Structure 1
Amino acid sequence: MITRTSRFRVGGSLWASGVSIGACVVALLSATSAQAAPVEAAAMPESGRKPVIAARQPLPAPTAPEAVEVSGIRRAFTHGAAQHLPDADTRLTAERLTERGVVDLRGLEYVAPNLTVQTINGTASTNFYLRGLGFNDFTQNNMGPVVTYVDDVAFPYSTMASGLMFDMADVTVTPGPVGTEHGQSTTGGEVKLRTNDPTDTFHYGASEDIASYARSRSDAYVSGPIAHGLSFRLAGQVRQGGGWQTNPLNGAHLGDADSWALRAKLKWTPDARTTVMFSGHVVRDQSEVVGGVPVARLIGSAPIPHLGWTQTEWSAKDAFTDVIGRRHGLKPSENNWFWGADLHIAHDFGPVTVTAISAFETEREAEFTDQDATAAAQADAYRTIAANSFTQEVRLANSRGGDRLQWVVGAYYQRSRMNQAFPFDYTDYLPARGYMQVSTFGLNQEATSQFGHVSYRLPRNVTLFVGLLHEIDDRGITGLTSRIYGGRTLNFHGENTAAAQFAGQVGVSWQATKNVLLYYKMSKGFKAGGFTANNTQVQAQLDPFRPETVLTYELGLKSDPIPNVLRVNAAAFYNDFHNQQILGTILIPNYGPLSQLTNVPKSESWGFEGTIDLHPVRHVFVTQNIGWQRGNFQNFPTVNRAKTNAYYARTGEWKAINDNFSGVDNGQPKLTLNGQLDWRQAVSHDYAVEFGPNWVYRGAQAMTPGGTGFYRLPPYFLLGAHVTLRPASDRWQVTVYASNILNRQYFTSGGQATTTYLYIPGSPRFIGGRVSCGF
């Protein structure tokens, strides 16, 4: 039997490592002494080649038992049923995530095309871009164009999903407008995480991953029945160490992880038609963050520091830590709690299945970052967020999957409340400021939507489909103040914005042959407006940005021209935007430029993405993702930050230099490539080995509209590899791996504070080993 492994942790890392390793040793001894099943299956796959142990089947459905038989036919490729769906989704098994070392949201960009997931100033907070659509929201008080789901629950603020990628079943990345079949309406798409459900038979497992820089990742799970129709699952993780940065001024160390998380699920099936699932989770994160590398400064006489790749500078003045209530000598770090619970109820009435999902999520975040990345206090920031979100979804769907007519209708409600505070230390930012300041505000938001989607299968394998969505969103910002400690206080009146719009989809698909699907669809996406609330100096900064709409045209192909040997999936798209939301610039007289979320009246983007899976010979398995996109602003009058900064550097005067960026590239990476090659070989009757490289390439990305030079993140290429030994039973496995083998310096995101521009570096070479087991 193949069983998936997960992790568990409550105490310190040493205890967790001992439990994980001990459990795996017991499993290894048990598996070794037992009579193992043959490595190679007796049945022949469609390709005519005898499969080896690593060619696994897809993960089971959520309600199915977790184990699958080894002795049957093993496909080279997963998600065969999805090859008949008209979408451009990237579907990733838990196995693929483990092979590529994807343990957080940030890592997903290395296994999906046209996806960018960037940390904000090296913290746990993230911004998503899919097909180039997304925005940089430092305050994280707006819903992004790409929404994260965990077990069918939408997280309106991406940081809420931090720390939840453990005990995974699979991940699906969906590009383009969504919302006519479930959940939250968005313009850019969604990232859906699905975790493992309780099982009807008893299972447990653990994993321990130890790597360079004293990094430790421990995971475990236990799952099984409690009584007839009642089962449970408890899973957890711990992350420790791994900090690879040092401060050249004092040799201090930065970047160690220090987090733990627990998830519990309880499933009740009172009868064959009803399923009730209750789930709860908690995440505690006190990890240090990744420090930045300053690349340019426009104000101040002191030069920016020249740092080695693994070096960064930071500071925390005692006066500032006293103000924020933290200890002296504070390092850039998190101090976060995330918790939540959800209830899923589904009942099959025969012709109709009714599903209801209720969820409550809470975020208590406190982040200290040195945003100028120097020993001076020029932009040291401490952000606190207290937020919660309640969502309720009800949908009805056709229960008979074989009917020509398929349909789903439903309604969705979302309500959130948030309070934020932003203390800044500018005491060394001279002659411009030289003080400490705090901005505070509250946010109230409420949205409702109704949706429906219908498809009808015509003769000759042609299917027509149409979807419609209507959403109402109302939000307001309240109580915003900006106060200088020992000085003046600015009070701003609240602002509100509301929107009500339709979105939808229409398309056609044709199953040309058994293994070839063609489709075309047009989709209109809608996303509500919002506010910029960081470091507010004038009332105009609180003017809400308008809702964003996009009309997307997509042509796609899904094909298995040589079953179990070659799979080619591809989609081409064109996006026609109105009021696209991006991070722009506002100039405050006698103060300087500040970032502000704004609208581009008219813009466009186009491109394609594709995945090639290849099993050319018996032992070789290759996956290659390709993403290419271009985009232009067609009408975008705004402040040119580069020219405005240059004017100040020449004259010492702040003056807004305005431009229309019509015809200027949108700055998103034009080419993204990622893939891997595996050699899967039986080394004896009972054991098999897998090994091979993986790779990532990402093109340059502009940090500001039309950005060049240091306003642009450089491209990079990374190479990794792994070797895994496993028995035929697959009850345990041992892996040795390396990431960034070439030890290349690269930068994953960028930022700006005052007039210092910085890059956030990626990690150097890591070499590690992982032992996992499961029963």
Structure 2
Amino acid sequence: MSIQKNIKSSSRRALLLSTAVSAAAVLPAPAYSADMMLEEVVVTAQKREQGINDVGITVNAFTGDMLQERGVASAEDIAILTPGLTVNETAATGVPLYTIRGIGFQDYSTAASSTVGLYFDEVAMPYAVMTRGLLFDMERVEVLKGPQGDLYGRNTTAGQINFISKKPTEEFGAGMTAGYSSFETLDLEGHVNVPVVDRINARLAFKTTQSGEGWQESLTRDDKLGKKNVYAVRGLVDFELSDSASLLINVHYTDDQSDNKANTTYDGTLIGLGEFAAPYLQLFPYVVSGDTPPWYSTGDNRAADWTNSYTDPDGNSYDIRPKRDNQLFGTSAKLNWDISDDITLTSIVGYDKFDRVEANDWDGSAANDSSNINTTDLEVFSAEVRLTGQTDKLLWIAGAYYSEDEMDELYNYFMSDSVYGNGAVPFGVSPFMFAPILQLHTRYNQKTDSQALFGHVEYNFTDKLRVTVGARYTEEDRSWSGCTFDAGDGSLAGFLNFAFGANLSPGDCGTIDDDPNSPNYIFAAADPNDAFHVYEETIETNKWMWKFGLDYAVNDDMLLYATVSRGFKSGGFNGANSNTTQQLKAYGAEEVTSYEAGLKSTLLEGAMQLNLSGFYYDYKNKQEQDRAVTFVGLISGLTNVPKSEIYGAELDLQWMPADGWYVTFGAAYLKSKILEWETTADSSAWPVRVTEDSSGQELAMTPRWQLNASVEYEWQLSTDLMMKLGGDVSYKDDTTGGVQPSDATDAYALVNLRASLTSIQDNWSVMVWSKNLFDEYYYPAAYQGGNGPYVRSVGMPRTIGVSISYDF
């Protein structure tokens, strides 16, 4: 990193730090009053209602009002508010990647389960692709950091994000919010709460986002991308079965037919790599002339390019313009029954079905180097039963958890212009110039069954000292079967017949058996056709997760806590295009042992909340990308990093410096290091894998600093009106990309402003706002765009808008 870049990054951090206190600098030292006390957020992070300051774990919580004011529209937007949380993508497959404190899985496959547990009204969404729907009518969102396996069912290592909807109440109420913003974007959200009959209450909420103008502009033609067409609805019915029992039914549906984001290609020499990883057909004239291709771009947050269609040699046409046609339907039932004054039974059953047909463009150009259509059918069922008991000194929770899911996917991949396809001809790349591969069909089925028993005990030794012990035992079976097939055009079959003397037909399986221990090993099989077959494997994971914690209340306003916990995430399979069976072998389970200590303090007579924490993670067998050695070269593979470590610290500040003022500041510092890992070297040539030592490098997606700050001021404008001005800024440091330099990202800071006029009764408001006020060029993700180019996934430019809310 250059000295100039260091100075720039330090200046940005200094700006953010000063923002947190700038409002107070012009104010006299206040005399704190009861009106200036912060309201404590109630969370259910430990499966019961608690004040957030009484929970001995690191939690960031955001109320529904805060989410609406900040313009949080999706689960991915939560990262803007939360230091230590990042959301990016590792390829153009429509799969977001959630990372907390550097623990994330850099895999673009739909089949990869998330290291971050994602729970919607206490029901797990184990696959990140299911979480891209709209957020609306939220009570709050909780971000729990560190392993939480003793109380949460799907095994994860990074932490949990809990999304909690507003529940039905006994009073009639309704509200509507309408907004209009840049790029002809219309947002409409509403709810109605109805007491149906005695002991039965219902709440219906909906949201839709429509955009008639795309925000991305093609670099090579008159074309725009980025239109939105998404709507979601949720119905909740609360049955009070008796004075001691209630049943809450949740039904929800999301339909998304929006454009997807396209990538932007750039010259790789800007980051010390070659101009491109591999050539493709459209590059040839520019390689000869030395001119810069017109689809290269940096610095323009609207510039991108993409492919709209492909026609195969048989005349079949495919619409591969980046877009989605996705639906999520789900339902859940939660039963609460107070068996006695001290014991409560809770049962939660959930079912979600996710269907999608989604096209994405990897390469950031009009070339067909790499595009895909994912057709996914995914069903998830889960059930949890738990008992909670409490006495004066003891609280205990015991329960059982079960889940099952099944995924079927067709990964239709287009690569006609790549170096493996027609691009091999002008560049003279053998053997593909004689038998180019134009298209692939990767089809697989994955089934997962998981069951667990868990227990959690909190014991108050004294009024000040509390001990927490928790454990969960999980048994999980995951089976996978799949292959990369010829797409029916005969191009993959033709290449394999040419290269290996096989006799495959269009549509046949084209994944070659390169396992020396297999009876169908390519170099030992009597008939070469026998070496091409569907790969099948089942893995079993039986592991313990546990937690031990100490909380010490120094007084009513200060809590000290320390925890030691272990979490794991089970192994899985590679859902990418495969050349060989070795590429498809399962990767193993990962484990994290967490050591954490923190402080939660209420200061200045309740006007300030200051929380601090520090942690160390001993990370074993981290699941990570590596390159698989195949007969076409080094391509996508998945493996485990034997040893790595992460340590860091976090700060969370909320402050009311004077009447009407509200200031927040958050900071997260991360430092990661790979301690032991042998990765695939560039000199590897199938079937021999050569390794190189990658220890000493940082893990991917571990920005050294993440900061955010906000300032709000509210005052009474007249006897009937209130006025509020607010702004926030978030900063994310650069990342190294781990062992893949092409995955590195630059530091960036985003500034948002808003102003609202509200009635004194708080039943209507008008807000004007701007996001990314200074039109910052930034890219939360970067990677090799399929086969050849290097690309960036650029964030949205400045947007401005107005929204009007009215409660009936």
State the TM-score bracket (shorter-chain normalisation).
0.7 to 0.9
User: In structure 2, how many angstroms separate the alpha carbons of the residues matched to 1:581 and 1:617?
Assistant: 48
1:88 matches 2:88: no
Structure 1 unaligned blocks of 5 or more: 1-44, 63-78
Are 1:121 and 1:290, in contact at CA under 8 Å, matched by a contact in 2? Answer: no
Are 1:150 and 1:161, in contact at CA under 8 Å, matched by a contact in 2? Answer: no
How many angstroms does 1:123 deviate by? 6.5
How many angstroms does 1:653 deviate by? 11
User: In structure 1, how many angstroms separate the alpha carbons of the residues matched to 2:478 and 2:724?
Assistant: 52
1:414 matches 2:394: no
User: In structure 2, how many angstroms separate the alpha carbons of the residues matched to 1:571 and 1:511?
Assistant: 16
1:336 matches 2:326: yes
Aligned to 1:83, the other structure's residue is in SS state helix
User: In structure 2, how many angstroms separate the alpha carbons of the residues matched to 1:121 and 1:538?
Assistant: 21
- Provide closer, same or farther for how the CA distance between residues 717 and 352 of structure 1 changes in structure 2, counting only shifts above 3 A: same
- From 551, 555, 567, the equivalent of 1:525 is 567
- Name the counterpart of 1:357: 348
User: In structure 2, how many angstroms separate the alpha carbons of the residues matched to 1:58 and 1:269?
Assistant: 28
User: In structure 1, how many angstroms separate the alpha carbons of the residues matched to 2:171 and 2:224?
Assistant: 46
- Name the counterpart of 2:664: 623
Are 2:729 and 2:752, in contact at CA under 8 Å, matched by a contact in 1? Answer: yes
- Name the counterpart of 2:101: 131
1:314 matches 2:318: no
Counterpart residue identity of residue 671, structure 2: R
User: In structure 1, how many angstroms separate the alpha carbons of the residues matched to 2:94 and 2:481?
Assistant: 26
Q: TM-score, normalised by structure 1?
A: 0.86
How many angstroms does 1:656 deviate by? 6.4
How many angstroms does 1:325 deviate by? 7.7
How many angstroms does 1:565 deviate by? 1.9
Residues 649-706 of structure 1: CA deviation (Å, up to 9, x unaligned): xxx9999663211111113211111121101111122221111221011111233x33
Aligned to 1:691, the other structure's residue is in SS state strand
Count, aligned residues: 697
User: In structure 1, how many angstroms separate the alpha carbons of the residues matched to 2:587 and 2:647?
Assistant: 24
Q: TM-score, normalised by structure 2?
A: 0.83
Are 2:393 and 2:459, in contact at CA under 8 Å, matched by a contact in 1? Answer: yes
Aligned to 1:701, the other structure's residue is in SS state coil
User: In structure 1, how many angstroms separate the alpha carbons of the residues matched to 2:480 and 2:92?
Assistant: 27
Q: Within 5 A, what are the aligned runs for 1:274-293? A: 274-293=245-264
1:676 matches 2:713: no
Are 2:676 and 2:695, in contact at CA under 8 Å, matched by a contact in 1? Answer: yes
Which 10-residue stretch deviates more, 686-695 or 543-552? 686-695
Aligned to 2:535, the other structure's residue is in SS state coil
Q: Within 5 A, what are the aligned runs for 1:92-107? A: 92-107=62-77
- Name the counterpart of 1:565: 607
Are 1:461 and 1:512, in contact at CA under 8 Å, matched by a contact in 2? Answer: yes
Counterpart residue identity of residue 246, structure 1: E
How many angstroms does 1:309 deviate by? 3.0
How many angstroms does 1:366 deviate by? 1.6
How many angstroms does 1:121 deviate by? 4.5
Residues 321-340 of structure 1: CA deviation (Å, up to 9, x unaligned): 999985x5x52001111111
1:666 matches 2:712: no
- Provide closer, same or farther for how the CA distance between residues 676 and 754 of structure 1 changes in structure 2, counting only shifts above 3 A: same
User: In structure 1, how many angstroms separate the alpha carbons of the residues matched to 2:550 and 2:691?
Assistant: 45
1:462 matches 2:462: no
Counterpart residue identity of residue 469, structure 1: R
How many angstroms does 1:383 deviate by? 1.0
- Name the counterpart of 1:713: 745
User: In structure 2, how many angstroms separate the alpha carbons of the residues matched to 1:248 and 1:690?
Assistant: 41
- Name the counterpart of 2:802: 769
- Name the counterpart of 1:588: 630
- Provide closer, same or farther for how the CA distance between residues 623 and 262 of structure 1 changes in structure 2, counting only shifts above 3 A: same
- Name the counterpart of 2:530: none
User: In structure 1, how many angstroms separate the alpha carbons of the residues matched to 2:316 and 2:53?
Assistant: 53
- Name the counterpart of 1:758: 791
- Name the counterpart of 2:10: none
Counterpart residue identity of residue 767, structure 1: I
- Provide closer, same or farther for how the CA distance between residues 56 and 98 of structure 1 changes in structure 2, counting only shifts above 3 A: farther
Residues 511-567 of structure 1: CA deviation (Å, up to 9, x unaligned): 001100000110010110001121011000111100111110000110012233221
Structure 2 unaligned blocks of 5 or more: 1-29, 269-275, 287-292, 425-431, 494-508, 511-532
- Name the counterpart of 2:393: 404
- Provide closer, same or farther for how the CA distance between residues 463 and 475 of structure 1 changes in structure 2, counting only shifts above 3 A: same
Residues 367-417 of structure 1: CA deviation (Å, up to 9, x unaligned): 11111111111101111111101101000001x4x6210010111101001
Aligned to 2:576, the other structure's residue is in SS state coil
- From 548, 552, 575, the equivalent of 2:590 is 548
- Provide closer, same or farther for how the CA distance between residues 592 and 164 of structure 1 changes in structure 2, counting only shifts above 3 A: same
1:378 matches 2:348: no
Are 2:673 and 2:698, in contact at CA under 8 Å, matched by a contact in 1? Answer: yes
- Provide closer, same or farther for how the CA distance between residues 184 and 234 of structure 1 changes in structure 2, counting only shifts above 3 A: same
Aligned to 1:713, the other structure's residue is in SS state coil
User: What is the identity percentage for the equivalent residue pairs of Structure 1 and Structure 2?
Assistant: 25
Counterpart residue identity of residue 144, structure 1: S
- Name the counterpart of 1:424: 413
User: In structure 2, how many angstroms separate the alpha carbons of the residues matched to 1:763 and 1:384?
Assistant: 27
- Provide closer, same or farther for how the CA distance between residues 269 and 662 of structure 1 changes in structure 2, counting only shifts above 3 A: same
- Provide closer, same or farther for how the CA distance between residues 420 and 324 of structure 1 changes in structure 2, counting only shifts above 3 A: farther
1:503 matches 2:549: no
User: In structure 2, how many angstroms separate the alpha carbons of the residues matched to 1:736 and 1:501?
Assistant: 51
1:169 matches 2:139: yes
Are 2:92 and 2:361, in contact at CA under 8 Å, matched by a contact in 1? Answer: no
- Name the counterpart of 2:504: none
Aligned to 2:709, the other structure's residue is in SS state strand
- Name the counterpart of 1:262: 233
Aligned to 1:180, the other structure's residue is in SS state coil
- Name the counterpart of 1:184: 154
- Name the counterpart of 2:518: none
1:237 matches 2:207: yes
- Provide closer, same or farther for how the CA distance between residues 596 and 380 of structure 1 changes in structure 2, counting only shifts above 3 A: same
How many angstroms does 1:60 deviate by? 7.9
Counterpart residue identity of residue 374, structure 2: R
Counterpart residue identity of residue 789, structure 2: T
- From 338, 341, 345, the equivalent of 2:335 is 345
- Name the counterpart of 2:20: none
User: In structure 2, how many angstroms separate the alpha carbons of the residues matched to 1:138 and 1:146?
Assistant: 15
- Name the counterpart of 1:638: 679
Are 1:531 and 1:543, in contact at CA under 8 Å, matched by a contact in 2? Answer: yes
How many angstroms does 1:120 deviate by? 5.5
- Name the counterpart of 1:604: 645
How many angstroms does 1:434 deviate by? 4.3
